[in-house]
Amino acid sequence: MKILIAGFQHETNTFAPTKASYQSFIQGEGFPPLAHADDVLKLRDVNVPIGGFIQWAKDKDHELIPVIWAGASASAHVTEDAYEWIAGAIVDRVKAGGFDAIYLDLHGAMVAEHLDDGEGELLARVRKIVGNEMPLVVSLDLHANVTARMVELADALVAYRTYPHVDMAETGLRAAHLLAQRIEHGKPFERAMRRIPFLIPVNGMCTLVEPARGTYGMLERLEKDVVSLSFAPGFPASDFDECGPAVWGYALDQDAADKAVDALWSTLVNDEARWDVPFLTPDEAAREAIDASGDATKPVIIADTQDNPGVGGDSNTMGMVRALLRHDARDAAVGVIWDEKAAHAAHRAGVGARIRLALGGGSNVPGDSPLEGEYEVEYLSDGRFRFDGPMLNGMSGELGLTACLRIGGVRIAVSSIKMQVFDRNLFRVAGIEPERMKILVNKSSVHFRADFEPIAHRILVAKAPGPMAADPADLPWRNLDARMRVRPLGPTLAELRASAA
């Protein structure tokens, strides 16, 4: 076959302070940087969905027509010009024809300035050109907010099953197998979809622990009776009517699809209470970390989840740093604070210099502000590194000019480019050996666990001030379906509005 392939990934937190520009996609911000045409094929050995699909296609001697691959860190809306440029490149190549099938590597939770359902709109534009007979399969992120339009327009959607996302390439391979089955079947599969009636906090979605681990185990058992089954817990910070978790599946007959989807849906709804998550205040987290790390041989890790750039934070709030300093923490490290001016000031001053800075605090988050003080410049680098952890293994990364600044007993990795702490090498590129620290504060929610859990004595989750509410009930929803419960066992949006009236 000749298969057209393309990728366009963005997880949109509509409450976040910074939008995703075209430049964001050029840089990648933790994703591979934007790639065109044959350069897309270089992603073959990278743990992203299109990498798994490319490997399958090459092994089967299919001819690939690569168009574009673009991804950027989670943030507020994708700007209209960025969306139209990237989506336009895909649509223009689709118009040119000359292929037998289409594979798209999408996220599933993209909101642009001018439209709510970024993926549904792209699929609609493609379907308008190729018609309903063209086989079209899509891989999605586990955090996809799957819409009815997406299910209607794709022959198959398949989502990751791990968080941290160590199975991204594997999901691309699953999409490839679905494409082969769709072509062999000769017509679209029967399909079923059901929405879960409550939002799930991001921290509750980790598949290394319950209830997510058991849920995906059940999904794999049920899938033996159907063509494909998927569950996306959703991304609970995209303010539009179809935000939230969903289960969907495909089978050769409608009854089988309905039964599998209904069985998984029932389990999820009956287990609603298990999806709730407890959080610590910054001071509670600092005190617990100091106490627990006293005699430990491994670091205690604190997830600074509300400023995670992987869900829309700007990675520059200083609440956890202040808490560590208040409690006189020693051998602590925080990463990564995105503050280009501070990083450049450190490079101008040089290693060993002491400089006065107002560090971080640039997101205008209530309860947060820059941390003014005197910092010692301990280490400088150009910010270039390689991911050696399991999630993005082998991919190159770049933080721009990077520095390690020390204040009291706290070392702070400071970068010029925003990136979530996926990998221990984000500390090492700032001269910090994470295994030697007593306490590590990671600007991440769950992805850090893939590389940091093996070295962790304990993992704590802190709710310091930040632009991404860890509890979706704390968000000022306006467009969410009013029947949706804003957290497990919480009130519906309609009930919240009634109580506030």
Over range 207-225, report the average pLDDT.
97
Rounded Cα distance between 47 and 31, Å, is 10
Q: Read off the DSSP letter of residue 189.
A: P
Q: Which of 93, 94, 112 is nearest to 24 (CA)?
A: 112
* C-alpha neighbours within 13 Å on the C-beta side of residue 274: 14
**Two tokens, residue 427:** 């500390």
The string of pLDDT tens digits covering residues 46-83 is 999 999 999 999 999 999 999 999 999 999 999 999 99
Residue 276, pLDDT > 90, answer yes
Over range 438-450, report the average pLDDT.
97
**Two tokens, residue 100:** 């037998």
Q: What percent of the chain has pLDDT over 90?
A: 95
Q: Which of 10, 11, 18, 9 is nearest to 467 (CA)?
A: 18
* Three-state DSSP class for residue 228: strand
The string of pLDDT tens digits covering residues 336-393 is 999 999 999 999 999 999 999 999 998 888 999 999 999 999 999 999 999 999 988 8
Rounded Cα distance between 117 and 447, Å, is 25
Query: Across all residues in the chain, what is the average pLDDT?
Result: 96
Rounded Cα distance between 433 and 202, Å, is 28
Buried b (16+ CB within 10 A) or exposed e, 414-437: bbbbbbbbbbbbbbbbbbbebeeb
Write down the residue that tokens 């519906």 correspond to.
492
Element (H, E) at 396: strand 396-398
pLDDT of residue 85: 98
Phi, psi of 177 (to 5 degrees): -65, -35
Cite the beta strand spans of 383-479 per DSSP E. Answer: 384-386, 396-398, 402-407, 410-415, 439-442, 458-462
The string of pLDDT tens digits covering residues 218-243 is 999 999 999 999 999 999 999 999 99
Over range 460-488, report the average pLDDT.
94
Residue 468, pLDDT > 90, answer no
| H runs (alpha helix) in 271-311 | 282-293
Residue 495, pLDDT > 90, answer yes
Q: Read off the DSSP letter of residue 309.
A: T
pLDDT of residue 143: 98
| H runs (alpha helix) in 223-339 | 254-270, 282-293, 319-326
Residue 6, pLDDT > 90, answer yes
pLDDT of residue 363: 83
The string of pLDDT tens digits covering residues 240-273 is 999 999 999 999 999 999 999 999 999 999 999 9
C-alpha 67: how far from chain center: 23
pLDDT of residue 30: 83
* pTM: predicted TM-score of the whole model, two decimal places: 0.91
Query: For the ranges 97-106, 358-367, 409-418, which has the lowest average pLDDT?
Result: 358-367
**Two tokens, residue 483:** 């029947």
pLDDT category at 92 given cuts 50, 70, 90 is: very high
Q: Which amino acid is at 312?
A: G
Write down the residue that tokens 């910010």 correspond to.
383
- What residue ranges define each of the domains in the chain, with the CATH number in brackets? 1-188 (3.40.50.2300), 189-277+471-501 (no CATH), 282-469 (no CATH)
Over range 273-288, report the average pLDDT.
96
361 near 370, Cβ under 8 Å? yes
Sequence-distant (6+) residues with CB within 8 A of 252 are 185, 189, 190, 227
307 near 322, Cβ under 8 Å? no
Q: Which of 118, 151, 137 is nearest to 9 (CA)?
A: 118
pLDDT of residue 393: 86
Q: Are strands 63-71 and 2-9 parallel, antiparallel or unpaired?
A: parallel
The string of pLDDT tens digits covering residues 114-143 is 999 999 999 999 999 999 999 999 999 999
pLDDT category at 500 given cuts 50, 70, 90 is: confident
pLDDT of residue 278: 87
**Two tokens, residue 453:** 């859990």
pLDDT category at 215 given cuts 50, 70, 90 is: very high
**Two tokens, residue 447:** 């992805």
Q: How is the beta sheet containing 458-462 ordered, strand by strand?
A: 354-359, 371-381, 402-407, 410-415, 332-338, 439-442, 300-304, 458-462
